[in-house]
Each structure stands twice: as C-alpha cells, then as structure tokens.
C-alpha cells in the first residue's frame, strides 16, 4: 500500500504558548507529492537514505523522518485504547518506548495483558508493558467495563509484563531521553501522578503530555458533569493539570465529533489480521441511523499527539473538582487566571482529516 504523507510536529526547544497552530511546525508542502523518480529537496531532520534502505521499508525516502517520535502510552485496556495503540505501533513516524497499564476500563493487570496482545497483533514483540496503578489516589476503584470485552476479543498474550512499575518505567525512559518523550494518557492519570512523586522534574524532562480526558462544554459520559477518565481519579488529574506539563487535553468536546463513516469501517474490516474485522464489517453493514454511537475517543488523542493541527485549542488554568459532591471530576478552564500553569483544551477538530490520518496509520504496512 502506498504510504500516505504525514505532517510531523517538530521538537520544541521551549514551551509553545499555542502549539495547536502550525506556523513553526515542519510540514510537507501542500503541493502534489513528487513522483518516485525525482526526489524533492531534503527537509531538515529527514532521512536521505536510498529507497532500498531498511529505514524506508521500501517507501520513498522523503516520506520517512529520520528522528522518530518517542512515545510512552498509558492505557486502561479498552477497545478504543487498542485502536490508539495499534495506530501508534504501526505508524512509521513513531518509536514506542513503553506502555503502562492503569485502572479504568478494566483492572490494571487486564489492561497490561490487553496491551501486550495488541502489540503482538501489530507485530511488536519487544516494547515493554509495565503494570501500573490498580487504584486511584484517594477514592475507591471503579471499572467502566469490568467484564473486559477487549480481553475476550483478542485473547491472552504470550509475553509477560515488565518487572518495574509503570511510573518507574516512565521516569527511567524520560531520564534516558530528556526533552524527547511524549506521553499519551488514555486512562486515569494515576501513573503520571505516581511518576511525579518519583521525579518532581518530570514536567521539565517530558516533551509533552496528550491526555484523553475532560469535558468543558456539554455533559459528561459517566456523570452529568464528568468525563470518565478524570472521574476515575480526579485527584491525580488535578495534580497533573497544575504541575507544569506541556499538556493538551483531548476531551469529549472534540472526541464525540469523530465517529467512523461506513467507508472507514469497511476499510478497517478489510484488515483480516485484526480480531475486530468482523465486528467492523457488521457495523459497516448496519444502517447509519441504527448504528450505536462510536466516538473514537482514544484514537483521536493519539492522532493529535502526532498532528496537533487536527484540533484548535484554548489555553488556561484547568481546575478539576475534587470535592465529594456530584460535581466531582468536573473540569473547568479559566482563561483569565494569571497564576498557575496553563494547559490546553481542544475545542474544535478537523473530522475528515482525523479519520484519514487514523485509517492511514491503522492500515500502515497492510
């Protein structure tokens, strides 16, 4: 399959006050790509190996960036987590350094097993998966899908989790690659909070954190006020939102808008190496008005990690409600606040571009 062109974010040297703009990002010109017989001028930081180089995997050399995006994924083991992880595992511009499991959709051990199995399905038998937090910081644990539907779908893995915790793994990898590692948080932020306890310099050492979490307009998806990832550990989310990370929240405001089209589902169903192919085909054959809502929450966050220009953002100090009343887990953005670290919240999304990027990554190499 012909490799599609991807726009890759450059590595920032300082905190970007508006990283959802693209003026300072390296991107391929929007003109028609050259034919394989004529290579374009080499952009800075890109590989100039010949087309038969192993780095290029047989593709045009100008399609492959020489410095991969280093990513650590934190996952709570749901089906949309699986699509996000597969997207990154197959994407040619990504180097997965590690995966951590956390409570949320399922218990942390089940989330680790699911991540290992998805990596195996992607042909990745080396990326370590570490067990993470099995409970929130200050409240009882609650599982969104305790029957573990993904585990039943993909089956058990052949590998075992790594010997260190998810927090220890994140700190180790970040210290080994200071300023280069991005974290994709797809569940509660408990592991990030524990990692911050281990190394208070983590906000300075990490390149960026993109978290699927929060809702700033409209209702929540677990209570009237709260999005589920934040609600499963509001105390951890409150710490991370004010710790000084280069943080982007991809919340329900945008993820609810990104739902698969019939053609998208048919393309996904054509990948028979994945155990959800038959389910995708069943959904594609279901009339759209009878199809259940299928927002691509975690996959969109993964896409935004690689291509921030898919969304526009508003910056401000993000407050997470940690009270014990019915607003617990509510997220609010204060754009007028002058004290405290600011975070970004996605407010609009380019839906067609998001679906194209996701499908290209999910089917890369197929």
Token code pair at residue 100: 């951590």
Region label for 32, one of left (φ > 0), alpha (ψ between -120 and 50) or beta (otherwise) = beta
Catalytic residue among 91, 103, 297, 319: 297
Q: Which among 280, 283, 282 is positioned nearest to 267, based on CA atoms?
A: 280
Spatial CB neighbours of 71, under 8 Å, sequence gap ≥ 6: 88, 94, 95, 96, 97, 181, 182, 183, 184, 305
- Does the CA dihedral 257-309-235-163 come out positive or negative? positive
Spatial CB neighbours of 289, under 8 Å, sequence gap ≥ 6: none
Helix (H) / strand (E) element for 311: namely strand 311-320
Q: Which among 189, 237, 186, 210 is positioned nearest to 79, based on CA atoms?
A: 186
Helices 297-306 and 79-90: angle between axes, nearest 10 degrees = 30
User: Residue 52: how many CB atoms within 10 A of its CB?
Assistant: 9
User: Residue 272: how many CB atoms within 10 A of its CB?
Assistant: 10
Please confirm, yes or no, whether 103 is among the known catalytic residues: no
Catalytic residues: 297
């Amino acid at each position: 399959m012909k490799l599609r062109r991807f726009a890759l974010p450059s590595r920032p040297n300082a905190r970007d006050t508006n990283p959802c703009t693209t003026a300072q990002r390296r991107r391929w010109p929007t003109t028609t790509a050259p034919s394989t017989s004529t290579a374009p001028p080499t952009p800075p930081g890109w590989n100039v190996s010949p087309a038969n180089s192993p780095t290029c995997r047989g593709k045009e050399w100008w399609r492959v960036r020489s410095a991969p995006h280093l990513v650590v994924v934190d996952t709570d083991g749901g089906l949309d987590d699986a699509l996000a992880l597969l997207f990154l595992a197959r994407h040619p511009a990504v180097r997965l350094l590690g995966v951590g499991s956390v409570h949320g959709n399922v218990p942390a051990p089940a989330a680790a097993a699911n991540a290992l199995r998805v990596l195996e399905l992607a042909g990745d038998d080396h990326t370590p998966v570490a067990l993470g937090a099995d409970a929130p910081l200050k409240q009882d644990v609650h599982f969104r899908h305790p029957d573990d539907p993904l585990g039943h779908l993909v089956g058990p893995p052949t590998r075992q989790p790594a010997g260190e915790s998810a927090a220890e793994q994140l700190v180790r990898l970040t210290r080994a690659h200071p300023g280069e590692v991005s974290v994709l948080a797809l569940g509660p932020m408990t592991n990030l909070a524990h990692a911050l306890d281990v190394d208070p310099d983590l906000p300075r050492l990490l390149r960026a954190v993109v978290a699927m979490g929060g809702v700033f307009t409209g209702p929540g998806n677990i209570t009237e006020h709260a999005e589920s990832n934040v609600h499963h550990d509001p105390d951890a989310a409150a710490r991370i939102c004010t710790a000084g990370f280069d943080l982007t929240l991809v919340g329900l405001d945008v993820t609810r808008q990104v739902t698969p089209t019939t053609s998208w589902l048919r393309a996904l169903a054509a990948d028979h190496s994945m155990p959800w192919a038959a389910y995708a085909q069943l959904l594609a054959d279901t009339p759209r008005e009878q199809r259940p809502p299928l927002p691509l929450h975690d996959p969109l966050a993964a896409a935004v990690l690689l291509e921030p220009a898919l969304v526009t953002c508003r910056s401000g100090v993000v407050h997470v409600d940690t009270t014990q009343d019915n607003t617990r887990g509510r997220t609010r953005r204060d754009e007028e606040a002058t004290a405290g670290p600011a975070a970004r919240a996605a407010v609009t999304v380019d839906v067609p571009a998001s679906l194209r990027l996701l499908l290209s990554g999910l089917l890369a190499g197929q």
